[in-house]
Amino acid sequence: MSDGQVRIVIVGGGTAGWMTAALMSRRLPAADYSVTLVESDEIGIVGVGEATLPHVKIFNDLLGLDEAEFMRATRATFKLGIEFRDWNRPGDKYIHPFGAFGEPWGGLEFQHHWLRAKASGRKVAPLWDYSYAVSAAWANAFDFPDTDPASVRSTYAYAYHFDAGLYAEFLRRWTTARGVTRVEGRVVEIGRDGASGNLQSITLQSGVRIDGDLFVDCTGFRSLLLAGQFGAEWEDWTHWLPCDRALAAPCANSGDFSPYTRSTARPAGWQWRIPLQHRVGNGYVFSSQFASEERARETLLANLEGEAQAEPRLLRFAPGRRVQTWVGNCAAIGLASGFLEPLESTSIFLIQAAAIDLVDLMPTPGMVKSGIDPALPAEFNRLSAMQYERIRDFLILHYFANSRVGEPFWDYLRQMEIPDSLAHKLSLFRSRASLSLYQYGLFARDSWLAVLVGQGIAPQGYDRTADTFDLTMVGDRLDAFADRIASNVASMPSHAAFIANYCLATP
Amino acid sequence: MTDVLLRVVLVGRDAALWLAALSLDRALGATGVSVTAVELPASLHPGDVCRSLPPLEALHNRLGINEADLIRATRGSYTLGWNLAPPAPAAPFFLAHGGYGSPIDNADFFHFWVKARRFGLDVAFEMFSPTAMAARQGRIFLPDSETAKFGRADYGYHLPAIDYAGFLKGLAHRAGLASHRSRSVQVERDEADGVIRAVRLDQGERIEGDLFVDASGAEAALIGRALDQTFEVCAAGSPADRVLVASAPRFSSVPVYSEVRICEGGWLELLATQTTTQVRYAYASAGRSDEEALAEAQTTAQLPLEQARVRAVQTGGRVKPWAANCIAIGAAAHQLDPLFDLDLHSVQLGIVHLISLFPAHRRFEAERDEYNRVLASKLARLRDLAPAFYGLNRFYPAGFWDAARRAGMPRSARHKIGAFRARGQIPPMEDETFAPDFWRAMLVGLGEMPQSWPPAIDLTPPDTLRSALQRMLGFVKDKVLEQPTHDAYLQRLAQGELV
């Protein structure tokens, strides 16, 4: 194209900024697009999202990263799911796995066969025994999934735990070697076009001015451009997700090298445990309405498996999203676009999804001269809203469906009004174990099934076509499936041994 | 379980009734659910044709229907899509059920086509569709492993409606399904909770049920008459409020597609079968008398028309197709614009979702809500299609087609068109029936062309693109030439050479 280059300016260099820059360097032709990232060493990064979802592997593969190299550089471990402890009631635990429960037989979802066998008096195992990922996780084992779809070892995926600060650094090195310009400095002035209101330039403390055609706001909660300049409207979700603080403190690894994230319910929130190669990340996500910071600090420090390596660091946040995440010539990615607590490790996914959408919908050089077609931001905003709302409902489910009677925080959650979209899913599952599914957006069938069952929702019925299958055959298949999982998991290497062989970081 | 629902009573007619009855019986009969069909007088005329969409084949498979038997028994035919014939000098364009092109470097083929056109490629989008090209040559398209890798090769049917209903009814009788005939039904409702307890037939027989299915078509014998569920007229209107339906003789060579011809007063569709050709002419009563419409249909079809009759069209539907213990399917629940023949598909949607949400017990509010939600969403996506076609047309400056441009479009359709114009994308939406490339073929055919493509496709070197396009064109050409003609295929079917 002969319209010159689109000058893209990414403001903010945390995980969001560098993931966006990395994708752009890979997917935007250099002849038409230049990418400059501005970051300030003075401004810390939040570094949320040390736990990820399997999608991040797709993202890394899209960039063409070497997995072992990336894992060494970020002190990463593998992740097969999230364990929820004491969430339904104290003493309970379950895993939301990255993988399937059983398999559909005769075109009918697995849970109906399982429930029907149970209702017919046949002895069946708990749901968790029919998930390869759950069994492997609880056995502290890891291996790569099999690519042969006939193998039970193909029924799971994996993600990583990594140091998000190191990931951003890794991507910074990788990306700046591929043509992205990095500029250090703090933004002190923002220039806008009087007529269109579009952003034109940013000026740094050093006096350097950077002109741009399209700006990506990766400045975190501050949302320096989208909120700061365009006043993008905030939709608040605190009434559904009352946690608004986190205290984070790493500690030494006690040797429990679990291939999963752990989330343990606490009186006013929950505590995360993320095992990395060199340390364990811990944090207490809590609601300031239900616990003071001092009280939360005590709770966290009393529940660490090793000595804290630093004084707990406080993060404040508000759950919600910007109603529009792309306004004019400014799109926000990461915390600048919205925030959902890290309960389901969705922060990095949201960055990745927005970065991919933005690259697909990126204005052409011609458009930045004649005006960006409003259909491009309209579609970006529609997709962003869809992602946020679907994840929001899934998070609320964990809190709402609890049996922790007598604790004010949990009592409030159990009694709150929930979004219609979630209430509807819950009543359908309660009635017949069916899942009201969607094709686009995060969290599919097995995720919903895991959390619904894990949070103690007991269906009153099941799909009646399950009764048309031979009961003995179904029972035998259930047993055989659980046996296949158990015998395969028994022959897997331990997670620690696998990492030692594959990607151990040199200290 | 003591509180399960055991008795399903269907009240309806024609294909909708028998397809629903058979499907419910097949899916649930073995669980103890009894299915009773009450057949109202047929509303069909000789020469009527059911036009199906590709998913019907899967439903037929679930019922154990053999396709060769079906085509033999009904003397129907296959359709690979719609040929749209705008007024000259505009060129006709094809809306294929099958795919268009193959991805290049994992990116949608369409964008590469748009880019190649910008740089001078003068090859129509449909040239990259094996099914569209086969249709143009009068050939059926039988997929093999190579073509399956290239893209989808889906198809629908043109089924003579009386024969199709008879075929399904025969299957129902052979399956031992209980059935009754009645000219009309009286509905008996529970005074306390309003649910339907029983229907009374014209001979006085009383049939009790737990769940009632209304498959009576526009009459809406249960959902409308008895349960009073209001029919809401669609806001985004259709410019057509009349359809003239007539029969014409069969073509000597049976086209393997449906054809929509645009004329000044509306559009005319030809649905060819082995026995007759059905002609449908959609127009506006404001612009044409029925006599004028007949004359125009005759001129446009260039066929002798018989048994012409006119029916009124009003698009809309019931907000709650499942109300109390009554589920309305097909035209009893939703009336769609006649363009693209979505009626049978709407019947299928009702059946498929009723089965997947068949109540597990007597408290079925959750199932009912989910059914109404899914159907509303599916129907909303179907209702994006015709308004987009009407709204974007450039066929005639005044009259029907001018009214069509001003008829209004749902927001979702406008959003799709916007994203298409800006970037060539069809925004992914839940519950969509038509594939993105079907939408794109329609929009391109109407004269829309995207301004741009996703920048990542520029990373594919021009030589790679050029040779990929040439390879695809060669592949399509070769594969199409290997296919039997539709006529030969139908003949082999008729002679029992194919099973």
Q: Tens digits of per-residue pLDDT, A132-186?
A: 999 999 999 999 999 999 999 999 999 999 999 999 999 999 999 999 999 999 9
Residues 6+ apart with CB under 8 A from A461: A431, A432, A433, B1, B360, B361
CB contact under 8 A, A465 and B355: yes
| Residue that wins the pLDDT comparison between A393 and B499 | A393
Q: Specify the pLDDT at position A233.
A: 95
Alpha carbons within 13 angstroms on the beta-carbon side of residue A59 total 28
The CA distances from residue A212 to A250, A381, A393, B308, in Å, are 39, 21, 37, 65
**CA of B484 to nearest chain A CA: how many angstroms apart?**
34
Cβ atoms A250, A280 nearer than 8 A: yes
Rg of chain B, C-alpha, whole Å: 23
The CA distances from residue A92 to A63, A95, B379, in Å, are 40, 11, 43
pLDDT at A377 over 50: yes
Q: Specify the pLDDT at position A2.
A: 46
CB contact under 8 A, A33 and B454: no
CB contact under 8 A, A375 and B459: no
Residues of A in contact with B425 (CB under 8 A): 360-361, 379
CB contact under 8 A, A434 and B427: no
Nearest residue, CB atoms, A465 vs list B31, B361, B428: B31
CA-CA distance, B427 to B262, in Å (whole number)? 28
Residue B361's nearest CA partner among B1, B7, B29 is B1
CB contact under 8 A, B360 and A465: no
pLDDT at A255 over 90: no
Encoded tokens for A479:
């047993």
Encoded tokens for B416:
């799709």
Cβ atoms B304, B248 nearer than 8 A: yes
Torsion (CA) A304, A306, A312, A318 in degrees, nearest 10: -40
For residue B229, give the amino acid letter: Q
Candidates A464, A468, A470: best to mutate against B (most CBs of B within 10 A) is A464
CB contact under 8 A, A366 and B425: no
**CA of A118 to nearest chain B CA: how many angstroms apart?**
13
Q: Specify the pLDDT at position B235.
A: 67
CB contact under 8 A, A428 and B369: yes
Q: Specify the pLDDT at position B497.
A: 85
**CA of B76 to nearest chain A CA: how many angstroms apart?**
30
Chain A CA closest to residue B459: A29
CB contact under 8 A, A428 and B367: yes
pLDDT at A124 over 80: yes
Q: Specify the pLDDT at position A214.
A: 98
Cβ atoms A347, A221 nearer than 8 A: no
Nearest residue, CB atoms, B422 vs list A27, A375, A440: A375
For residue A222, give the amino acid letter: R
Read off the pLDDT of residues B1-30 as tens digits, 9 standing for 90 and up.
Answer: 457 778 999 999 999 999 999 999 999 999
- What DSSP string describes B237-255? --S--EEEEEEEEPPSS--
Query: Three-state SS for B261?
Result: strand
| Residue that wins the pLDDT comparison between B226 and B441 | B441
Torsion (CA) B343, B345, B346, B349 in degrees, nearest 10: 170
Read off the pLDDT of residues B97-141 as tens digits, 9 standing for 90 and up.
Answer: 999 999 999 999 999 999 999 999 999 999 999 999 999 999 999
Catalytic residue, candidates A79, A93, A118, A425: A79
Sheet holding B49-51, edge to edge: B49-51, B156-160, B77-79
Read off the pLDDT of residues B270-326 as tens digits, 9 standing for 90 and up.
Answer: 999 999 999 999 999 998 999 999 999 999 999 999 999 999 998 999 989 999 999
Q: What angle do CA B18, B24, B30 make, to 5 degrees?
A: 130
Nearest residue, CB atoms, A378 vs list B355, B415, B451: B415
Question: Is A79 tagged catalytic?
Answer: yes
Torsion (CA) B440, B444, B448, B451 in degrees, nearest 10: 70
For residue A136, give the amino acid letter: A
**Using 50, 70 and 90 to split pLDDT, how confident is the model at A369?**
confident
Nearest residue, CB atoms, A362 vs list B361, B364, B455: B455
Chain A CA closest to residue B27: A465
CA-CA distance, A490 to B437, in Å (whole number)? 47
Candidates A465, A471, A474: best to mutate against B (most CBs of B within 10 A) is A465
CA-CA distance, A255 to A210, in Å (whole number)? 49
CA-CA distance, A312 to A251, in Å (whole number)? 10
Residues of A in contact with B366 (CB under 8 A): 424, 427-428, 430-432
CA-CA distance, B412 to B414, in Å (whole number)? 5
Please give the model's pTM, rounded to 2 decimal places: 0.96
**Beta-carbon pairs below 8 A across chains A and B:** 123
User: Sign of the C-alpha dihedral, residues A248, A253, A254, A258?
Assistant: positive
Nearest residue, CB atoms, B418 vs list A29, A378, A434: A378
HEC secondary structure over A25-54: HHHCCCCCEEEEEEECCCCCCCCCCCECCC
CA-CA distance, A356 to A422, in Å (whole number)? 27
CB contact under 8 A, B361 and A460: yes
Q: Residue B258: how many CB atoms within 10 A of its CB?
A: 25
Nearest residue, CB atoms, A461 vs list B360, B370, B373: B360
Cβ atoms A60, A162 nearer than 8 A: no
CB contact under 8 A, A467 and B30: yes
Residues of B in contact with A25 (CB under 8 A): none
The arithmetic mean of pLDDT across residues A346-358, rounded, is 97
Candidates B119, B353, B356, B415: best to mutate against A (most CBs of A within 10 A) is B356
pLDDT at A1 over 60: no
CB contact under 8 A, A373 and B418: yes
Strands B178-181 and B34-39: parallel
Residues of A in contact with B458 (CB under 8 A): 29, 31-32
Residues of B in contact with A31 (CB under 8 A): 458
Residues of A in contact with B27 (CB under 8 A): 465, 468
**CA of A289 to nearest chain B CA: how many angstroms apart?**
34
CB contact under 8 A, A366 and B452: yes
Read off the pLDDT of residues B33-80 as tens digits, 9 standing for 90 and up.
Answer: 999 999 999 999 999 999 999 999 999 999 999 999 999 999 999 999
- What does pLDDT average to over chain B? 95
Q: What angle do CA B156, B159, B164 make, to 5 degrees?
A: 125
Candidates A1, A34, A432: best to mutate against B (most CBs of B within 10 A) is A432
Residue B422's nearest CA partner among A136, A52, A362, A384 is A362
- What DSSP string describes A113-143? HHHHHHHTT-----GGGGBHHHHHHHTTB--
Nearest residue, CB atoms, B370 vs list A27, A360, A424: A424
Read off the pLDDT of residues A50-86 as tens digits, 9 standing for 90 and up.
Answer: 899 999 999 999 999 999 999 999 999 999 999 999 9
Encoded tokens for B274:
């082995």
Query: Three-state SS for B322?
Result: strand
CB contact under 8 A, A431 and B366: yes
Query: Three-state SS for B485?
Result: strand
Q: What is the ipTM of this complex?
A: 0.95
Beta strand extents in B377-461 (DSSP E only): none
CA-CA distance, B426 to B424, in Å (whole number)? 7
Nearest residue, CB atoms, B360 vs list A29, A32, A464: A464
CB contact under 8 A, A432 and B451: no
